[in-house]
Chain A
Amino acid sequence: GDSVTQMEGPVTLSEEAFLTINCTYTATGYPSLFWYVQYPGEGLQLLLKATKADDKGSNKGFEATYRKETTSFHLEKGSVQVSDSAVYFCALSEGDKLIFGTGTRLQVFP
Chain B
Amino acid sequence: DTAVSQTPKYLVTQMGNDKSIKCEQNLGHDTMYWYKQDSKKFLKIMFSYNNKELIINETVPNRFSPKSPDKAHLNLHINSLELGDSAVYFCASSLGRATEAFFGQGTRLTVV
Which residues of chain A have a CB within 8 Å of any CB of chain B? 31-32, 34, 36, 38, 42-46, 49, 51, 87, 89, 93, 95-100, 102-103, 105
Contacts and interface: CB of A to CB of B under 8 A. Distances in A.
B3 to A, nearest CB: 10
Nearest to A100: B43
A32 B99 contact: yes
5 contacts: A32-B99, A42-B106, A44-B90, A96-B55, A96-B97
Given A87-B41, A97-B48, A98-B45, A43 B90 contact: yes
Contacts of A105: 41
Contact of A49 (B40, B45, B100, B104): B100
Interface residues of B, number: 25
Given A32-B98, A43-B103, A43-B106, A97 B41 contact: no
Interface in B43-91: 43-45, 48, 50, 55-56, 90
Interface in B1-48: 4, 31, 33, 40-45, 48
Given A46-B102, A49-B100, A102-B41, A96 B48 contact: yes
A10 to B, nearest CB: 11
B105 interface: yes
Nearest to A98: B101
A42 B101 CA distance: 15
Contacts of A32: 98-100
Contacts of B40: 102
A96 B94 CA distance: 10
Contact of B104 (A43, A46, A100): A43
